[in-house]
Structure 1
């Protein structure tokens, strides 16, 4: 699962519960809703995070991508 941070558009802040519901319908497992900030955190299946931007009321989606370096000496 990919970790995601979703920013809710300012004009949709009053409809935050509806946006959260739409995110769940789109496949997001919601972990936290930070109402005062208009931010929702959670996780999605790989490749789904970028699709959350099409959810009405979503301003921005940040997908946490893990980068690993090879061990020293390899």
Structure 2
């Protein structure tokens, strides 16, 4: 059974905004499936295999990587 991918939000550092396409390309090369690039905000959203999520933070031009967490409530009675 395949492991579920983690949804991530990547913030691009100020010095990476000038060459955002190169940062996005490097994120893809690091294993990220890019869903959306919000150029004005300097944010890239997508998903990544859990084993590769730590690698994204080492990509030049990346400021932060946030992994989306799921919150669930037990069923009501």
Q: TM-score range by the shorter chain?
A: 0.7 to 0.9
TM-score, L = length of structure 2 = 0.84
In the alignment, structure 2 segments of 5+ residues that lack a partner are none
- Looking at structure 2, the residues matched to 67 and 50 of structure 1 have their Cα atoms a distance apart, in angstroms, of 22
TM-score, L = length of structure 1 = 0.87
Per-residue displacement from partner, 1:29-73 (whole Å, max 9, x unpaired)?
000000001000000012322220000000000001224344457
State which of 42, 64, 67 in structure 1 corresponds to 2:68. 64
- Looking at structure 2, the residues matched to 26 and 35 of structure 1 have their Cα atoms a distance apart, in angstroms, of 20
- Secondary structure at the aligned position of 1:5 is classed as strand
Q: Is the 8 A contact 1:50 1:63 kept in 2?
A: no
- Looking at structure 2, the residues matched to 2 and 68 of structure 1 have their Cα atoms a distance apart, in angstroms, of 16
CA RMSD of aligned residues (A): 1.4
Q: May I ask how many residue pairs the two structures share in their alignment?
A: 73
